């Protein structure tokens, strides 16, 4: 399900958490991209205004970024852009809208899109990213199997003759 995120709505909420108080737009997008790649989905984050003058830091998200970043511009709000994305969607019921803004939540509900408050989304994201399984180290012998002399040794240990 594509995720559309009200950027500053989420960022301002997250910045109230002590460990994230200095998080900026790019940092938030990195975390969101990591999350979306992990759940094997993609999304859009829309920020109000024109954004930072130098947007080259967003290029550092790389080609594998699972998030597209938009700035609404001087004449529109992020809410306007998100409402337009919901209205223009050919499958709005497959969208997840992340915002605590009542107007956006209502617009999502009218089109039968899933609406998630920013704090609930963030708590779920953090929980998932913190508890995701780390790859388990497996010895090469387990992947390749044992050698013929090792097999003979084990067969002998169990008293099985190998002819």
Residue range 5-41, pLDDT digits in tens: 999 999 999 999 999 999 999 999 999 999 999 899 9
Determine the pLDDT at residue 138.
67
Is residue 11 packed enough to be buried (19+ CB in 10 Å), middle (13-18) or exposed (0-12)? buried
Is residue 37 packed enough to be buried (19+ CB in 10 Å), middle (13-18) or exposed (0-12)? middle
Task: Please provide the CATH number assigned to the domain covering 3-157.
Answer: 3.40.50
| Mean pLDDT (the chain, rounded) | 89
């Amino acid at each position: 399900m594509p995720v559309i995120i009200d950027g500053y709505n989420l960022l301002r909420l997250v910045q109230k958490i002590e460990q994230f108080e200095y998080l900026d737009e790019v940092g938030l997008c990195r975390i969101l991209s990591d999350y979306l790649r992990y759940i094997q989905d993609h999304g859009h984050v829309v920020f109000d205004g024109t954004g930072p003058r130098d947007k080259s830091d967003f290029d550092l998200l790389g080609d594998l970024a699972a998030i597209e970043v938009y700035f609404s511009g001087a004449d529109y709000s992020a809410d306007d852009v998100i409402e337009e994305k919901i209205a223009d969607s050919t499958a709005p019921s497959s969208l997840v809208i992340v915002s605590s803004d009542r107007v956006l939540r209502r617009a999502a509900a009218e089109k039968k899109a899933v609406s998630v408050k920013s704090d609930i989304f963030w708590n779920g994201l953090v929980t998932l990213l913190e508890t995701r399984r780390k790859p388990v180290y497996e010895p090469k012998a387990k992947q390749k199997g044992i050698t013929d002399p090792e097999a003979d040794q084990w067969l002998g240990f169990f008293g099985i003759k190998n002819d």
